[in-house]
Amino acid sequence: MSGRQVRGEAGRRSADHNSHEDAPHALPAGTQGWIDNPPRRVQRFLDPSELLAYRELIAFLALRDLTVRYKQAVFGVAWAVVQPLAGALILTVVFRLVARVPSDGIPYLVFAFLSFAAWSYFSNSLSAATDSLVGNAGLVTKVYFPRLVAPLAAVLPGLVDLSVALIATGALMAVLGVTPGLALLTLPLWIVLSCLVALGIGLIFATLNVKYRDAHHAYGLLVQVLFFASPVAYPSTLIEGPWRYLYYLNPMAGVLDGFRWSVLAGPGCPPEALLSLLTGGLLLASGLRYFASAERRFADVI
């Protein structure tokens, strides 16, 4: 055997010996090691398939928030009726009895009750979405999941309150003699639109709130401004002239008009209401884009 062959055989035996020495550190057969889930270098605008894969987590977070909300509550789900009823009574005294604000031929109490219920869903869902990432900081920093899951789950529990309030609205309509029309079939559309508006704005504030904790104060100011800039206590028909175009840049203006049109057979949505739908769509698209651009850094700065 030549010297070159001897050295080659010795090298193979050495390699086999080293592999046996490393064997105790190898993983047992049939087991898997750590799976690394690094963030994507290029963030997708929206990945519905990924959200579908994490639908159980969305349901779990939404159910957890709903359970916490009513845990050890004296009135429980009845708060979904008590809060809009209290708000409607206050609006009735201030805007109807004192200010003599009209209500498009609809009894003002049910007019204000439905408006306040829809507005409460929007404002509460926006608040929950704003705090969704910070409130789940332990989950965000330790486990990988699509971060969009948190704000999306935050806007779902309020739908239970809204559904209960809509049932109470039906009872109030029966007492006051208000009959809905065929437009009632469009009610699911307006519920979905209010959910998307809350999600779009909530994504922007949730992203800001991760880095700047005073974003929650900015949210509070925005809600106060939008309350008076939305047809909650008064009908949008009071806004006339060119101001209507500026007024309907508020996405909730068209949504609230749609709620009253579908449930209370109020005036139909004017052409300017298309601006509300356009603004709501732009806010949702901007929120998704901004959220995706900052998603990689959430775990580092939260």
Q: Which residues contact 4 (CB under 8 A, 6 or more apart)?
A: none
Quote the CA–CA distance of 131 and 153 in Å, as a whole number. 12
Whole-model pTM: value is 0.83
Return the residue matching tokens 């949730």: 206
Is the model more confident about 280 or about 33? 280
pLDDT per residue as tens digits for the range 20-58? 444 444 445 554 555 555 555 545 567 888 889 999 999
| pLDDT grade for 300, boundaries at 50, 70 and 90 | confident
Check whether 185 has a pLDDT greater than 90: yes
Average pLDDT value for residue range 250-267 = 95
Average pLDDT value for residue range 205-217 = 87
What pLDDT is recorded for position 32?
56
Check whether 18 has a pLDDT greater than 60: no
What pLDDT is recorded for position 40?
53
pLDDT per residue as tens digits for the range 138-169? 888 888 888 999 999 999 999 999 999 999 99
Cβ pair 255, 119 in contact under 8 A: no
| pLDDT grade for 77, boundaries at 50, 70 and 90 | confident
The rounded mean pLDDT for the chain is 85
| pLDDT grade for 172, boundaries at 50, 70 and 90 | very high
3-state SS, 229-255, equals CCCCCCCHHHCCCCHHHHHCCCHHHHH
Check whether 302 has a pLDDT greater than 70: yes
What pLDDT is recorded for position 182?
94
| pLDDT grade for 253, boundaries at 50, 70 and 90 | very high
Check whether 4 has a pLDDT greater than 50: no
3-state SS, the chain, equals CCHHHHHHHHHHHHHHHHHHHHHHHCCCCCCCCCCCCCCCCCCCCCCHHHHHHCHHHHHHHHHHHHHHHHCCCCCHHHHHHHHHHHHHHHHHHHHHHHCCCCCCCCCHHHHHHHHHHHHHHHHHHHHHHHCHHHHCHHHHHHCCCCCCHHHHHHCCCHHHHHHHHHHHHHHHHHHHCCCCCHHHHHHHHHHHHHHHHHHHHHHHHHHHHHHCCCHHHHHHHHHHHHHHCCCCCCCHHHCCCCHHHHHCCCHHHHHHHHHHHHHHCCCCCCCCHHHHHHHHHHHHHHHHHHHHHHHHHHHHHC
Is the model more confident about 132 or about 69? 132
